[in-house]
Amino acid sequence: MTSNSEIILKTQSLAKSVALESKQLNLLQGIDLTVYQGETVAIVGSSGSGKTTLLSLLAGLDLPSQGEVYLKNKPLHQLNEEERSQVRAEHVGFIFQQFLLVNSLTALENVMLPAELANNTNARSEAESLLAQVGLGDRANHFPSQLSGGEQQRVAIARAFITKPDILFADEPTGNLDKKTSTHITDLLFDLNKRSNTTLVLVTHDLSLAERCQRSVEMKDGHLIDSMAIEHSREEVNLTNRPVTA
């Protein structure tokens, strides 16, 4: 790590537990994770290992039972839902496995929506540009039901980038797609991410997707068990990809 590195996301002793009948179920324990501006980080692990739970805490969608999580120096663990929502609106983008498009809106309107909520007066032109970048300029007026799964995910990617987020969280972004479509979606995601210099944190079972990231961390039974030591530079992050075993 160099003196120019900027921490965008950091957790300290993060834990999450829930009451289950007469027992307490520990979903996460002792998570220490630091992510730097411009990094691409994959969170891998078997089903039930705690990956999605961790992603929810990192994004401020849920609160930890113990520990601290800071996003752009904002203490998410100390904020209420309205305050966390404001942090997400200012700094965060999302891509989900289920796409989560609004069925009553066209592709263009779906992409425009976050920008309009942020009072961006250039929402339409920026949405049109992003749809063109993901190869859907001619499908702008189609509704989600008229688009294939891969096309819907491309709309979701364009929607995620329209607010120019500092950090993008992706939960199994290729999980519902066939191999050929997954490869295309992955290429689009990393190309847009590189051009935007957005920090990317993704959860995936797809090891080929994880290997595209600069760093991978592995979850097992609610613990972070593996992380690669790296050096960072704000201008250029030179990292070696490494296969990760789940």
- The answer to whether residue 222 sits within a structural domain is yes
Domain count of the chain? 1
- The answer to whether residue 61 sits within a structural domain is yes
Beta strand segments in 87-133, E: 92-96
Helical ranges in the chain per DSSP H: 51-58, 81-91, 107-117, 123-133, 149-161, 179-196, 207-210
SS3 231: coil
Token match 């992409």: residue?
A: 111
Q: Which residues have a Cβ under 8 Å from the Cβ of 62 and sit 6 or more positions away? A: 16, 53, 56
Residue 1 has pLDDT above 90, yes or no: no
SS3 78: helix
Q: Between β-strands 215-220 and 223-227, what pairing exists: parallel, antiparallel or unpaired?
A: antiparallel
Do the beta carbons of residue 173 and residue 199 sit within 8 Å? no
**Burial (0-12, 13-18, 19+ Cβ within 10 Å), 85:** middle
Higher pLDDT, 239 or 140: 140
pLDDT per position as a tens digit, 163-193:
999 999 999 998 888 888 889 899 999 999 9
Q: What is the mean pLDDT of the chain?
A: 87
- The answer to whether residue 233 sits within a structural domain is no
Residues shown for the chain: 246
Of the listed ranges 104-113, 199-208, 225-234, the one predicted with least confidence: 225-234
How many other C-beta atoms lie within 10 A of the C-beta of residue 211?
A: 14
**At residue 190, what is the residue type?**
F
- The answer to whether residue 234 sits within a structural domain is no
Higher pLDDT, 136 or 48: 136
Q: Give this prediction's pTM.
A: 0.85
Q: pLDDT exceeding 90 applies to what percent of the chain?
A: 68
How many other C-beta atoms lie within 10 A of the C-beta of residue 86?
A: 13
- The answer to whether residue 238 sits within a structural domain is no
- The answer to whether residue 242 sits within a structural domain is no
Give the range of the structural domain holding residue 202, as residue numbers without chain letter: 7-227
Domain harbouring 27, CATH code: 3.40.50.300
Residue 46 has pLDDT above 70, yes or no: yes
- The answer to whether residue 190 sits within a structural domain is yes
Q: What is the dihedral of CA 94, 225, 207, 245, to 10 degrees?
A: -170
- The answer to whether residue 78 sits within a structural domain is yes
Do the beta carbons of residue 50 and residue 28 sit within 8 Å? yes
- d(CA 112, CA 3) in angstroms, rounded, equals 38
